Chain A
């Protein structure tokens, strides 16, 4: 028996990784033509796009991808980022720049751990748990910073962010490093396959003997750590800690993942997809910047619509998820 793939399903498959690349290339070509007067296809311009990915929500997208693969969510990525930045700046200003980096990462790890605990052990819905976490962490940031940015006083810290190797910003290198580490973890470690298993069918994963709770918590910890790196990067680049850093980044991060082929229900998608999803968003942002006629406010509208659409298209696939014994799987066996 052969299923007819519904048009919605086909549209969804369009967003799968390989096709995200095609979408990205298409977008790039369009932008190149549209903005040929601005030398869109120049080293600077392309470098800028990559820098945008690295600096803006690209890192948050990598972190959140771990949790989305689980079938969960982490809305606190923006706030974790901000808090890590703040703590690292404070410690660096006290004279310990290296310790500052470590402290920032520790903050991310701790935040992720708490969220993971709430989701895995207290069985609270990850949406609510991370929503509360997002608000709580943001409040802590506002408290500590008194709603004012904290300027960096550590020269080393500041300079670190300005380093360029072969004319490419260090931020890009760090992002790529994080990307490759994430790809490695997801593909070549037992934790990685465990992620996909728990996201794909949590009950089955449990029955197969996987330590589901540990995997969940670890995913959140990794997400927190990655966001912390992002926060430290931002603090260095902005020469100080920003109290409002990372606001609304969770939506962009989710959008990058959804566009990149990660199913929000978990268990499906690759990090390479997340990368291209982030690229698409970066190009869209650039296009906005280059078009003076379009208000930057339109970005919000577009982003919101983008997430709605990319997620709405995922829905048809949900019904075909698990082959329950009672249902007849309709795919022909090879």
Chain B
């Protein structure tokens, strides 16, 4: 049955909700800075900037990967476990040198990402279910690999420098992976054909197929890269902390990553990816944590706030998609 006359959408200006959504990360950032200016003493010091860079590194890294996955219309809630896995693999491989350790860690997570991507892309299983199981699976592998103990890597001063050192005076080392990963993902999304395909698959899978895009490979590649970035995040974390705790590292890292992406303006339903938005979103998430901690409020309040923010961001997006 025909659905009646066709009404073309003829909008001259985007609706208000779209504009709000587009600028939400900046608005939130501004609000947070304002709140801190008023309530937090000693906020506007250079040390805070260093702190943000150090602590935000993991969110930014995982957020970048998550941006790619969400752009394909999926989601990956196993990245926290992948971080732990990377840390543990790295700790085990450090005796053979830094480079083998790093490569092994990234490879291990890439395999996890491959499995997830395959099940989502080829078997069409819901991404949530797949990555939920992967969350357990990867965590289990990490725990088995370190026997439930915490592995200390104090003796590898070279490696630890990566996480605790400073360059150019006071600038924390974390700035390097941050800059590299953000640049890489930005480049992929904005400049490569692969990035175009990722967004096409998320926006309209049917049309993507009719345009000759191989959705399966596109999706798999997104999950593999997300896993690899999670691995890097794990490496950054373990080098800073000096220890690999397979059981507890990275728990709830997914929350920050997803919230960063949602706040950053990438639609949770897939499509257009806003890399810089995610970067801003990650900073916002970290700022929430810092604000709460510096004002002696319990961290759990921040978590509740972040959960609410995710709901809010998704809700707003639903409206503007209608």
Residues of A within 8 A of B (CB): 73, 75, 118, 122-125, 127-129, 131-133, 135-136, 138-140, 142-143, 248, 250-251, 254, 264, 295, 297-305, 307-308, 311-312, 314-315, 318
User: Which residues does chain B contribute within 8 Å of A318, judged by CB atoms?
Assistant: 124
- Enumerate the 6 nearest inter-chain pairs by beta-carbon distance, A residue then B residue, closest first: A304-B137, A300-B140, A301-B140, A297-B143, A304-B136, A139-B300
Task: Please give the residue numbers on chain B whose beta carbons come within 8 Å of chain A beta carbons, in ascending order.
Answer: 75, 77, 115, 119, 123-126, 128-130, 132-141, 143-144, 147-148, 252, 255, 268, 298, 300-301, 303-304, 306-308, 310-311, 314-315, 318
Contacts of A136 in B (CB 8 A): 303-304, 307-308
Complex Cα gap A307–B129 (Å) = 8
Using A122-B318, A139-B300 as known contacts, list a sample of 4 further A-B pairs with CB atoms less than 8 Å apart, ordered by residue number in A: A124-B314, A142-B300, A305-B133, A318-B124
Chain B residues with CB under 8 A of A304: 133-140
Using known A-B contacts A297-B148, A308-B134, A315-B124, determine if residue A143 contacts B129 with beta carbons closer than 8 Å. Answer: no
Check A251/B132 contact, CB under 8 A, given A142-B300, A302-B140, A303-B140.
yes
CB–CB B304/A303 < 8 A: no
CB-based nearest A residue for B140: A300
Distance (Å) between the CB of B241 and the closest chain A CB?
20
Q: How far does the alpha carbon of A165 sit from the alpha carbon of B119 in the complex, in Å?
A: 47
In the complex with contacts A124-B315, A315-B125, A135-B252 CB distance below 8 A: yes
- Cα–Cα distance between A11 and B308 once the two chains are bound (Å): 41
Could you say which residues of chain A place their CB within 8 Å of the CB of B125? 311-312, 314-315
CA distance A307 to B137 in the complex (A): 10
- Looking at A129, A298, A308, the one whose CB has the most chain B CB atoms below 10 A away is A308
Is the Cβ of B143 less than 8 Å from the Cβ of A311?
no
Which of B136, B255, B268 has the most chain A CB atoms closer than 10 A to its own CB?
B136
Main secondary structure of the interface of A (DSSP, over half): helix
Chain A residue numbers with a CB within 8 Å of B126 are 127, 264, 311
A7 to B136, CA, bound (A): 28
**Residue among A75, A123, A128, A250 having the largest count of chain B Cβ atoms under 10 Å:** A128
The answer to whether A311 touches B301 (Cβ under 8 A) is: no
Q: How far is the CA of A133 from the CA of B140 in the complex (A)?
A: 24
Q: Which residues of A contact B130 (CB under 8 A)?
A: 308, 311
Whether the pair B298, A308 counts as a contact (CB closer than 8 A) is no
CA distance A269 to B169 in the complex (A): 63
| Residues of chain B contacted by A250 (CB below 8 angstroms) | 132
- Interface CB pairs A-B, < 8 A, 11: A118-B311, A123-B318, A136-B308, A139-B300, A297-B147, A301-B141, A302-B140, A303-B133, A305-B137, A312-B125, A314-B125
Residue in chain A with minimal CB distance to B138: A304
Q: Considering only CB atoms, which chain A residue lies closest to B147 in the complex? A: A295
Q: CA of A304 to CA of B115 in the docked complex: distance in angstroms?
A: 12
In angstroms, Cα B312 to Cα A129, docked, is 10
Q: Which residues of A contact B306 (CB under 8 A)?
A: 135
Residues of B within 8 A of A295 (CB): 143-144, 147-148
For B123, what are the chain A residues with a Cβ–Cβ distance below 8 Å? 312, 315
A303 / chain B contacts, CB cutoff of 8 Å: 133, 136-137, 140
Assembly CA distance A305 to B116 (angstroms): 11
Q: Is the CB of A128 within 8 A of B136?
A: no
A148 to B303, CA, bound (A): 18
A303 to B298, CA, bound (A): 33
How many angstroms between the C-alpha atoms of A248 and B248 in the bound complex?
13
Closest to A302 in B: B140
Nearest Cβ on chain B to A259's Cβ, whole angstroms: 13
* Closest Cβ–Cβ distance, residue A237 to chain B (whole Å): 24
Question: Complex formed: what's the CA distance from A127 to B315 in Å?
Answer: 13
Residue of A nearest to B78 (CB): A304
A324 to B48, CA, bound (A): 59
